[in-house]
Amino acid sequence: MGVTLAYETWGEGPRPLVLLHGFTGSRSSFDDLRPFLGRAVKAIAVDLPGHGATPLPQHTGREGFLETVDALVALVDRLGHGPVDLLGYSQGARVALAAAVRAPDRFGRLIMESGSPGLHRRQERTARREADAQLAAFIRARGVDAFVDRWEALPLFEGLRQLSPERRDALRARRRACTPEGLAGALECLGLGVQPDYWPELHAQRLPTLLLTGAKDAKFTQTARRMAAELPVVWRHAFADCGHAPHLEAPEAYAREVLGFLQTPWYEAPQFDSPAATVAGAGRMGS
């Protein structure tokens, strides 16, 4: 039957928005956005496999990744909302893109924060799988606390070290709530090395897409630029003075960008009656 994704809902708005967290996160990872999004959306915050209350999939590797994508599509079908919008951060952004490619009719708009379509070269995927296997072994041998110390010291998360002590403590507590097997297993089924390469699929991805990054995160901002050159309907924004996690570093500005995108009419009706009148399509936007 495959894995079943745990989730919770919040918000009073009419527009369903699925939220997919990053590695070491959970359904509560987007709680800082509640005051800014809650009136406009009905959030469906998901625990990805190995995190929160969702178990690992039955398979590892590429099969486990695709099992997770199928579980997300199945969740949307069970909820019965019709097309829903998708927002994913980092690991969650990669799953969101995969779901949009897998079942575009189930989704309305796609928001990817600090995400990637995958690794294009086989050698890169092999090297990343080996690195993730070593990290999984470290987690199993040393435990979550030792891993979190190592994870939080990465230059990628410099921006998060500028959060208030209370918010840093809450983030650390959320990470430490993970289990060693959950995190290690997530690396083995959701890691970048096992994800299919979706770069060749971008030109056919018709969902309006918003790419969000922190301007200080040069690697993922460059990836977003490359993606924007391939996607047909795309809007891109890099938050000044933010790193890898703008939804935590600048939640109010982040929410404004998300709502601006969701509320933009991407296709406008003609303003006059004429046999020659056609529907105007949205083009690429950037900042």
Task: Quote the pLDDT of residue 269.
Answer: 40
pLDDT of the residue at 267: 55
Neighbours of 104 (CB within 10 A): 15
pLDDT score recorded for residue 1: 67
Pick out the chain residues at pLDDT < 50.
268-287
Q: What are phi and psi of 243, to 5 degrees?
A: -105, -130
Alpha carbons 227 and 207: distance in angstroms, whole number: 13
Name the pTM for this structure.
0.92
258, 86 contact by CB (below 8 A): no
Tell me what pLDDT residue 2 has: 83
pLDDT digits (tens, 9 = 90+) for 130-141: 999 999 999 999
Q: What pLDDT, in 10s, does the model give residues 193-241?
A: 999 999 999 999 999 999 999 999 999 999 999 999 999 999 999 999 9
**Residue 147's closest CA among 158, 131, 135, 160?**
135
